[in-house]
Amino acid sequence: MPRITLSINTPFGVIEVSGETPEEVLDALERLDQKFIGEVNERVSELLATQTKDDLKGVVEVGRDGPIIVTKKKLSHYACIGLILYCVKDHQASSREITRRLTASGKKVTVPARLHEMRGRGHIFKPVDRAPYYKLSSKGVKWIEEEVIPPLKKK
């Protein structure tokens, strides 16, 4: 009998479950509960966060209170907001928290207006429509990684 393989896409990658019989596959799936997936996701997120901190050394410092922009290079208001969101957990923060982090970084930014404009560009979105939280979209993450960070890393 051919081997049965099932691939499951998760936020952190693909999990493959296989077995000789459908019962073996179902048994293996039972062991992959939400707790397991959540724990793996958390550990992978921690590894990626550490890598992000290393990649942004000299640009952004992530402390106990959150990220602070430390680069001396001139940044647009959009780039400042994008970098803050890029460095916080789940790329998500409230407008108040973004304002606090920018103030701590010494940046004077009119955050509500810039957030509205960034929504129009597709760089951020509101995960819950009436909540004051904003999240970096996949387009926004790509923008930060490809257009904002590379010029800041050049010496």
pLDDT digits (tens, 9 = 90+) for 44-85: 766 666 666 667 888 888 878 888 888 888 999 999 999 999
Beta bridge partners of 135: 92, 125
- Distance, in Å, from the CA atom of 46 to the CA atom of 60, rounded to the nearest integer, reads 17
CA 7 from chain centre, in angstroms, equals 24
The pLDDT mean for the chain works out to: 86
Which range of residues forms the domain containing residue 16?
4-47
The pLDDT assigned to 51 comes to: 62
The domain total for the chain is: 2
Q: Do both 84 and 146 map to the same domain?
A: yes
Same domain, 64 and 135: yes
Q: What is the pLDDT of residues 108-127, one digit of tens each?
A: 999 999 999 999 999 999 98
Q: How far is CA 71 from the centre of its chain?
A: 20
Cβ neighbours, 10 Å, residue 22:
9
Q: Collapsing DSSP states into helix, strand and coil, what is residue 19?
A: strand
| DSSP 3-state of 56 | coil
The closest alpha carbon to 63, from 74, 53, 72, belongs to 53
Are residues 132 and 78 part of one domain?
yes
Please check whether residues 74 and 148 belong to one and the same domain.
yes
pLDDT score, position 129: 84
Encoded amino acid at 10, one letter: T
Run of H or E including 45 = helix 34-55
Residues 128 and 63 in one domain: yes
User: Residues 71, 119: one domain?
Assistant: yes
Residues 76 and 137 in one domain: yes
70 plus 43 within the same structural domain? no
